[in-house]
């Protein structure tokens, strides 16, 4: 046994878990002639393309040398794909097009401080794309048709009415728009000959679980997520002509959240995915029933359909399970053959990866918290849910908070479990996906009942022998970073240590500095977090800000921050570091000058995780690889507290930060 009390297994190298994947985001072009994926070029992710029948001839068609490309997709213009890229993590994503037969990429949104919103790509208008751009007004996106050959844009809609966005059909006729109401509800407006008319009223209580999704290609049916007059969000089909609606699929346990199998030409929904604890598919169109049955032969995990050819003869499948990283296949519908392509991370082949278990944890008020437990190799649960060995635990809190943890392969959970920790990921109240009452129960409960839920899951883990009360850390990013700070400030004796990644410490400054394009939905933030325009709201924000009680922090804290974060500004970390330093409380602060909301350059991600791994080992007793050279190539700066992590001062000696925008 090691000091973690878990059986010892081989250490999985951090680079295998967090370095660049060998291949990712595999897609097939609509005409079926090309396969594409993301892969490194000189250590930076770029788009590669190969003939579909000759993968050995693959070549990069982009040459990014900085942060890499993380999102791309095919247009319907032959040989042309689109990709998105920001600078230094500022989230001002520009849209580029590249002809895979040759030529340089073209920026379709060449304006400063502009965030591109791809609003439409259609096989009926193959030579143009719909893009929302906020260069005229940083708070609002105007809608343009953009010529894929020349980059010329033509104004379709000037957004002078505060719309959150537009919905067009496949002929690029704008049919609907969405606008937030003063009461923080939403109105879906339809275009009529007389102008915009409210077609659907969405109350505040349904605003996070009711929204338009897409029109069928002929524009006759509007698909919506809809939780009105029900608890969980259903997929609803609205007949545009008659306004009659029908429920396509609903699940009483969980929301439909937009995981749909849609016919590539007609736009008709053929299957619906829902996840309560584990993902499930419901067949809507029996013509794909056999296909989904065949895909289940890949294993007990999840077979996601990445892309389909326009003629629907070939699908790209991404298969994974909690203990199986993504592997890619081609599915040939006519023959039923599933052709293996490659693993996204072959370096993990044969690694001691572990499974994940979905558990239901009762909160103190009776609310059920769907959660996920990952245990180190050799530690098991009996039929009553009790662990065979108590080990240190990391409570890993998801961001959002209007998001959710789910079942599947998770590099963070695998990393921590391999180091000897149990990993508990909890869907606390306020998370989405489990019905509107579950989500709305988190309104104005940051640091209150949302925090109580996290404490209750820790108590559950202790009661079930997973861990002991003195060996629990809290860790997370964004809202998870806030939860880390709140945990150490509001309940200073509960956690042995904390790791905060881009978490807000001051809810006043968080709401004062939101990105300009978030301002049309400010009423939602005010009602769900706290309203800075009222005396009562300001008092609430002060009470729930970890900065207010920074002097109560007594346990070790590691903070990671991106200097260019547009959501949680660097000042959020600076403020609490300054307060803790002023009060003589040790804190280690790691800053990346070329990152934003999270760390996306693999060099930076690997560097921070090397520091975090050694920080956790010191305070929880888990295993760790030395930091050694894992800062190489990163932009790591440590303004304060380097001596709080074993090996960090030595790793910083001679370290020359590499900054790539």
- pLDDT digit string, tens, across residues 608-641: 999 999 999 999 999 999 999 999 999 999 999 9
Residue 182's Cβ-count burial label (10 Å; 0-12, 13-18, 19+) is: exposed
| Pairwise CA distance, residues 115 & 3, whole Å | 49
Over residues 486-508, the pLDDT tens digits come to 999 999 999 999 999 999 999 99
Strand partners, 283: 271
The residue count of the chain comes to: 661
| Pairwise CA distance, residues 177 & 119, whole Å | 12
| Pairwise CA distance, residues 75 & 77, whole Å | 5
Q: Three-state SS for 254? A: coil
Largest CA distance in the chain: 75
Q: Three-state SS for 612? A: helix
Q: Find tokens 């007594």 and name the residue.
A: 554
Degrees to nearest 5, angle at CA 157 with 156 and 158: 130
- Provide the pLDDT for residue 236: 98
| Pairwise CA distance, residues 216 & 221, whole Å | 6
Query: 10 Å Cβ neighbour count for 20?
Result: 21
Strand partners, 256: 274
Q: Answer for the pair 164, 155: CB distance below 8 angstroms, yes or no.
A: no
| Pairwise CA distance, residues 474 & 559, whole Å | 12
229: left (phi over 0), alpha (psi -120 to 50) or beta: left
- Residues near 592 by Cβ (< 8 Å), separated by ≥ 6? 560, 561, 562, 563, 599, 601, 604, 608, 634, 635, 636, 637
Q: Answer for the pair 624, 614: CB distance below 8 angstroms, yes or no.
A: yes
- Residues near 257 by Cβ (< 8 Å), separated by ≥ 6? 225, 233, 274, 275, 432, 433
Degrees to nearest 5, angle at CA 274 with 273 and 280: 70
Catalytic residues: 478, 565, 597
Q: Find tokens 């592997």 and name the residue.
A: 327
Q: Kindly report the pTM of this predicted structure.
A: 0.96
Write phi, then psi, for 449 (nearest 5 degrees).
-65, -25
Tokens of 467: 């861990």
Tokens of 61: 């068609």
Tokens of 568: 């949680």
What are the strands of the beta sheet with 94-99, ordered from one edge? 71-74, 80-85, 94-99, 106-107
| Pairwise CA distance, residues 215 & 329, whole Å | 29
What are the strands of the beta sheet with 117-121, ordered from one edge? 117-121, 128-137, 140-147, 153-157
CA distance readout (Å), 294 to 283, 291, 312, 338:
13, 5, 16, 8
- Provide the pLDDT for residue 7: 72
- Residues near 73 by Cβ (< 8 Å), separated by ≥ 6? 27, 81, 82, 83, 121
Exposure string for 299-321, b = 16+ CB within 10 A, e = fewer = eebbbbbbbbbeebebbbbbbbb
DSSP assigned state of 621: -
Rg (CA), the chain: 25
If you write DSSP's letter for every residue of 432-472 in order, what string do you get?
A: SSS-HHHHHTTTT-TTTHHHHHHHHHHHHHHHTTS--TTSE
- Provide the pLDDT for residue 1: 34
Query: 10 Å Cβ neighbour count for 40?
Result: 18
- Provide the pLDDT for residue 4: 65
**Binned average pLDDT, 10 residues per bin, the chain of 661 residues:** 68 95 97 98 96 97 93 97 93 96 95 94 98 96 98 97 96 96 95 95 97 96 97 98 96 95 98 97 97 97 97 98 97 98 97 97 98 97 94 98 97 98 98 98 98 98 98 98 98 98 96 91 95 97 97 96 94 94 93 94 95 97 95 96 96 93 77
Beta strands in 488-556 (DSSP E): 497-501
- Find, among 68, 40, 104, 88, the residue nearest to 96 by Cα: 104
- Residues near 218 by Cβ (< 8 Å), separated by ≥ 6? 169, 170, 266, 267
- Provide the pLDDT for residue 3: 54
- Find, among 19, 4, 16, the residue nearest to 377 by Cα: 4
In the Cβ-directed half-sphere of 216, how many Cα atoms lie within 13 Å? 15
């Amino acid at each position: 046994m090691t000091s973690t009390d878990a059986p010892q297994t081989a250490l999985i190298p951090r680079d295998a878990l967090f370095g660049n994947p060998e291949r990712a985001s595999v897609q097939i072009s609509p005409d079926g002639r090309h396969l594409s994926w993301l892969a490194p070029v000189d250590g930076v992710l770029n788009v590669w393309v190969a003939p579909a029948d000759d993968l050995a001839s693959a070549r990069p068609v982009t040459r990014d040398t900085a942060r890499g490309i993380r999102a791309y997709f095919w247009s319907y213009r032959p040989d042309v794909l689109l990709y998105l890229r920001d600078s230094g993590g500022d989230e001002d994503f520009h849209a580029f097009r590249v002809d895979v037969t040759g030529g340089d990429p073209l920026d379709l949104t060449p304006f400063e401080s502009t965030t591109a919103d791809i609003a439409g790509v259609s096989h009926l208008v193959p030579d143009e794309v719909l893009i929302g751009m906020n260069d005229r007004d940083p708070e609002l996106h105007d809608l343009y048709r953009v010529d894929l050959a020349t980059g010329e844009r033509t104004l379709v809609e000037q957004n002078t009415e505060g719309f959150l966005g537009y919905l067009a059909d496949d002929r690029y006729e704008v049919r609907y728009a969405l606008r937030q109401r003063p009461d923080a509800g939403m109105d879906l407006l339809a275009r009529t000959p007389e102008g915009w008319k409210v077609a659907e009223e969405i109350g505040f209580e349904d605003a996070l679980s009711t929204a338009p999704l897409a029109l069928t290609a002929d524009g006759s049916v509007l698909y919506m997520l809809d939780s009105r007059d029900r608890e969980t969000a259903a997929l609803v089909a609205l007949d545009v002509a008659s306004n009659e609606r029908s429920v396509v699929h609903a699940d009483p346990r969980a929301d439909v959240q937009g995981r749909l199998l849609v016919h590539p030409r007609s736009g008709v929904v053929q299957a619906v995915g829902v996840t309560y604890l584990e993902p499930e598919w419901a067949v809507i169109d029996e013509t794909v029933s056999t296909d989904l049955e065949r895909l289940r032969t890949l294993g007990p995990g999840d077979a996601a359909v990445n892309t389909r050819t326009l003629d629907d003869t070939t699908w790209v499948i991404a298969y994974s399970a909690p203990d199986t990283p993504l592997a890619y296949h081609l599915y040939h519908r006519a023959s039923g053959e599933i052709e293996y392509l490659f693993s996204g991370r072959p370096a993990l082949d044969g690694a001691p990866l572990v499974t994940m278990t979905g558990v239901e944890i009762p909160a103190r008020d009776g609310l059920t918290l769907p959660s996920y437990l990952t245990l180190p190799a050799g530690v098991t649960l009996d039929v009553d849910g009790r662990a065979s060995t108590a080990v240190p635990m990391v409570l890993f809190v998801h961001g959002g908070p209007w998001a959710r943890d789910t079942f599947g392969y998770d590099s963070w959970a695998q990393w921590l479990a391999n180091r000897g920790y149990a990993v508990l990921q909890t869907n606390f109240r306020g998370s989405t996906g489990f019905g509107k009452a579950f989500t709305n129960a988190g309104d104005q409960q940051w640091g209150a009942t949302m925090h109580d839920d996290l404490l209750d899951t820790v108590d559950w883990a202790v009661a079930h022998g997973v861990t002991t009360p003195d060996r629990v850390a809290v860790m997370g990013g964004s809202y998870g970073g806030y939860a880390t700070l709140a945990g150490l400030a509001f309940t200073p004796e509960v956690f042995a240590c904390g790791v905060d990644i881009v978490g807000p410490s001051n809810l006043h400054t968080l709401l004062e500095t939101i990105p300009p394009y978030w301002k049309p939905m400010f009423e939602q933030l005010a009602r769900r977090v706290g309203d800075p325009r009222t005396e009562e709201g300001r008092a609430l924000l002060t009470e729930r800000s970890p900065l207010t009680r920074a002097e109560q922090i007594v346990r070790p804290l590691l903070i990671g921050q991106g200097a260019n974060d547009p959501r949680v500004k660097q000042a959020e970390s600076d403020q609490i570091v300054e307060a803790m330093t002023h009060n003589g409380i040790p804190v280690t602060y790691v800053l990346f000058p070329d990152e934003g909301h999270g760390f996306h350059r693999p060099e930076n991600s690997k560097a921070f995780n090397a520091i975090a791994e050694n920080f956790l080992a010191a305070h929880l007793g888990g295993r760790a690889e030395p930091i050694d050279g894992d800062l190489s190539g990163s932009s790591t700066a440590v303004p304060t507290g380097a001596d709080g992590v074993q090996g960090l001062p030595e790793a910083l000696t001679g370290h020359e930060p590499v900054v790539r925008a």
